[in-house]
Chains A and B, each alone.
Chain A
Amino acid sequence: MKKFKVRKGNFLKSKNSTSNMMYNLLICLIPFIIFATYKNGIYPVIKGYGNLYLVFKPLIFVVIASFSCIMVEYLYYLIIRKERKTFNYLFSESFALIPGVFIGLIIPINTPIWLLILGSMIASLSKMLMGGLGKNKLNPALVGSLFITIIFSSFAGGYLNPLELDTISSATPLANMTASSYVLTYDNLVSPYGNLLDFFFGNIPGSIGETSSFLCIIAFIYLVVNKVIKWRIPISYIGTVIIMSLIMCLSKDIGLWFIGFNILSGGLLFGAVFMATDPVTTPISHEGQIIAGILLGLLTMAIRYLTPLPEGVLVSILIVNITTLLINYFSVKLFSKRWIEVGIIIFLLLIVGGFSFVIGSKIHNKEIDDSYKIISKQKDNNTTTYQVSGRGYTGSNSIKLKIVFKEDDIIKIEVIESNETYMKMIFNNDYLEKIISNQDNLDDLDTISGCTYTSKYIKEIVDKTMKDYFE
């Protein structure tokens, strides 16, 4: 008779383990760092704008942030829980570095290093204070980056737009959209950055991780095939955004490019694939995951179009993290009445539809023209002097011009008054003179990169005045 150890349980375990899931996640993030190294580092260097530090900055960013997180957890265990944890434990059992890696990827590349470290520490601390792995209610990386972007928004910020290298930083597409008072035209939203393919491959301003939708899609496929993430969330999230954009398109007569714009900007795919699927802070049941996805879509669009905040992805994920508790509670309550959950999903979809019309009423599908005004018009002899005002980048009536016509030509343009931030660049580029010399074919005159809007609006004001003169 031979004795054996007894254990309760089953005796065959699947290969997939929590640490495997984490490794898979990390593998998917490597291409993002490589891409960022190219976009924010090598490309500017080739064009003569950067230096070697810039090349390695994405990597340095991620490493510093994850190291800070590991340190915080180590110290937390040591001081508060009086346990000395090994690096191996922190790395492969508590996954201390994950929040850091994500922070490095989602905050602007121009964030000062000290702020990055502070944000990472806050992230880790929030995780540990909520009970550590498996117990935290909020996604730690989002807590950290929200801290960075909100509290220190004056320090953070600044992106690189590969199309406008002469300015060190430029606005992200969504910030740009908010600034243009929701005039949703292709020229306003997409053209300043190239075309939608640039959006797709990530040639737009944004943080390291969030810009390349292409890499996000590859990562999504990889993660779903390897059964790492809760795929229902990103699918219903993106689906909701597509439905809402489509309704907006149809009801306001906007081109279908707008759907692409909504999905490909603001780090939506990165958020959907990586942040919204964090297992610990998202609903467990299938119906719950779909509900969370729809909520995410609704919130993201609401924040983008109904609040002054341009970027809605991260905030909406945090909000849905909070509702997760509620969703999980109802998953238990409604276990034997799952049709109610299906009912909730249908109800939410109706809200999605209704909401799209609300948002639709706030947006415009073409330039609003009413701010152009002729203040005075004086004729003596063969010269006519106009004083006109019109909208500029910073608002309506922010540009006031004096335009002098002699016979059939403009002979003089003068800026009387302006609130424009970049008016200096207009003068530096002799833009007014260029308008005069190109007055017969203004359409061919290029705008100035770096102050695209101001130059474009000046051109428009001149154009309208010419129309008035020749009538």
Chain B
Amino acid sequence: MNKPVQIKRDENIDYNIQKYIKPEYVYIPLENKNGVVYKHLVKEGDYIYKGQVVAVNEGINFPIHSSVSGYATMGNNKIIDDGKKVKCIVIKNDFKEKYQKSKLSVKEKYTKQDFIDALRENGITGLGGSDFPTFLKYNIDKPKCLIVNAVECEPFVSCDKVVIHNYSDCILEAIDMIMEIMGIPRAIIGLKENNLDSINSFKKYLGTYPKIKLGFVKDAYPNGWERNLVRELLDIEYDKYPTEQGIIVSNVSTIYAIYEMFKYNRPLTERIITITGTGIKNRRNVKVKIGATISEIIANLDGYNNLKNPIFIAGGPMMGNSLPVDDVIITKDLNAVLVIEDDFEKNLPCIKCGKCIEVCPAGIYPVFIMNNGNNIDKLKELKPGKCIECGLCSFICPSKIEVREFVRMAKVKVSDR
């Protein structure tokens, strides 16, 4: 197995969470980045309550909720974090935060089925970036271990660390409750070994929870990748999903969202997002409404610094996408926005140094995939589908070639046939 790569960045994290939860409009995209299409359930002019289901993924009966109350308008196209322009439901915020009455009751006791239903009804998804409905993960028999992913290995991104700093007690409580409901015998919180702030935040309260342990991984990329994390902490390999081995992996922010669900029995309508980079005047973590636009948030954070060649990235610098405008909808999976100087260097020919092979965590041969771009038969043998798009090959390449983009293209080509 290839060793993860150390990426040095010193990050000054401001642990205060600024709130910006009064957007003028919210946009509910009817398609997500994985290509899942939602059917909208409301009409133009309808009054919509906060937390009301406005669209649904019919295949798995998974709802999307409104994060504000107000009147709906239809048909506005906006871009989401992968740069796709999608149709949205637009809701004009009336700032009343009105809930439908029935939604306010809080459950005292959950059975496993109650819990899984609640995860689905409240629209909890993986907040680490997968946008994968969480209830699907928890719907397994006899789970053996719960791993809480608090590694957050993308440089610059700090929202998980900030959540931990502020809510470590809530997170531990939620983990304990989940273990109890699901009958999971043990839980491990995976952290970077040098992330002292998070470690100390947890240690303060850990004494009361003997079944929850901290597990440490090296500060290297991509150790936050499920496969690496499970391997490092439990020394277990799996084929496609960790659930095959009875392991549930959840992001720490997701756990916090579950905590809020337990506490208030309310749908997931807010998240914390990192807004940073040299192009941003006021770099910090902000609590935002899902469905608000980034442009509005940044404008409220004192705006931009002047850069020569600014580039706007939804996500972290390794896996994020560069977008043409800052008018982007905040979706549940968007954990960071980065505005930085683009120090893109001219690329040179590939010198066949093999470094991309050396780092690829998926164990494939990026350079060969690149060089055989037009030979479908060879591409098939090289298994570009295994690529997790971590970007390490592009990061390490001494000739500054965007190797990952070639692998992505190959992925598409191979799956087309």
Contacts and interface: CB of A to CB of B under 8 A. Distances in A.
- Which of B355, B364, B405 has the most chain A CB atoms closer than 10 A to its own CB? B355
B354 A4 contact: no
Interface in B300-332: 304, 309-313, 317-320, 322-327
Given A17-B400, A284-B354, A289-B354, A9 B349 contact: no
B367 interface: yes
Interface string A266-310: 000000000000011011111001000000000000000000000
A279 B352 contact: yes
B403 to A, nearest CB: 9
B367 A11 contact: no
B323 A4 contact: yes
A134 B338 contact: no
A133 B404 contact: no
Interface of A is mostly: loop
B365 A134 contact: no
Range of interface residues on B (Cβ < 8 Å): 35 or more
A332 to B, nearest CB: 5
A285 B354 contact: yes
Nearest to B340: A11
Interface in B366-409: 367-368, 372, 378, 381-383, 391, 394-400, 402, 404-405
A292 to B, nearest CB: 12
A129 interface: no
Contacts of A16: 355, 396, 398
A279 B351 contact: yes
A201 B356 CA distance: 36
B348 interface: yes
Given A4-B311, A227-B355, A284-B354, A11 B398 contact: no
A284 B365 contact: yes
Contacts of B317: 10-12
B37 interface: no
Given A13-B400, A17-B345, A8 B322 contact: yes
A293 B324 CA distance: 49
Nearest to B8: A15
Given A2-B295, A7-B342, A336-B381, A12 B395 contact: yes
- Which of A11, A12, A17 has the most chain B CB atoms closer than 10 A to its own CB? A11
A11 B382 contact: no
Given A12-B318, A332-B368, A134 B398 contact: no
A10 B340 CA distance: 12
B311 A13 contact: no
Given A13-B343, A14-B395, A285-B357, A8 B402 contact: yes
Contacts of B310: 4-5
B404 A134 contact: no
B395 A335 contact: no
A299 B97 CA distance: 79
B350 interface: yes
Contact of B322 (A11, A283, A286): A11
A153 interface: no
Given A11-B338, A13-B343, A4 B312 contact: yes
B311 A10 contact: no
Nearest to A332: B368
Contacts of B395: 10, 12-14
B7 interface: yes
Contacts of B312: 2, 4
A284 B357 contact: yes
A5 B184 CA distance: 48
Contact of A18 (B324, B399, B405): B399
A131 to B, nearest CB: 9
Given A93-B348, A332-B382, A2 B357 contact: no
B404 A10 contact: yes
B398 A21 contact: yes
A6 B344 CA distance: 12
A49 B354 CA distance: 48
Nearest to A284: B354
A7 B340 CA distance: 13
Given A10-B404, A17-B400, A5 B311 contact: yes
Nearest to A133: B349
B112 to A, nearest CB: 40
Interface residues of A, number: 40
Contact of B368 (A4, A8, A284): A284
Contacts of A12: 7, 155, 317-318, 391, 395
Contacts of A400: none
B353 interface: yes
Contacts of B327: 1
B381 A280 contact: no
B405 A8 contact: yes
A286 B398 CA distance: 18
Given A1-B325, A20-B398, A332 B378 contact: yes
Interface in B78-105: 83
A6 B322 contact: yes
Interface string A396-439: 00000000000000000000000000000000000000000000
Interface in B150-183: 155
A82 interface: no
A14 B364 CA distance: 20
Given A11-B340, A13-B395, A21-B398, A4 B322 contact: yes
Contacts of A285: 354, 357, 365, 368
B278 to A, nearest CB: 12
B394 A9 contact: yes
A2 B368 contact: no
Contacts of A132: 349
Given A2-B304, A7-B342, A333-B381, A134 B394 contact: no
Contacts of A331: 365, 368
A8 B325 CA distance: 15
A4 B344 CA distance: 15
Interface in A328-350: 328, 331-333, 335-336
Contacts of B404: 9-10
B394 A6 contact: no
Contacts of A17: 345, 398-400
Nearest to B391: A10
A332 B372 contact: yes
6 contacts: A1-B326, A7-B322, A13-B400, A16-B396, A331-B365, A335-B382
Given A4-B324, A12-B7, 11 more contacts: A4-B312, A6-B83, A6-B322, A8-B322, A9-B402, A9-B405, A11-B342, A230-B354, A283-B354, A336-B381, A336-B383
Interface of B: 7, 83, 155, 295, 304, 309-313, 317-320, 322-327, 338, 340, 342-345, 348-355, 357-358, 364-365, 367-368, 372, 378, 381-383, 391, 394-400, 402, 404-405
A-B pairs, top 8 by smallest CB distance, nearest first, are A134-B349, A10-B391, A9-B402, A12-B317, A4-B312, A279-B353, A11-B317, A284-B354
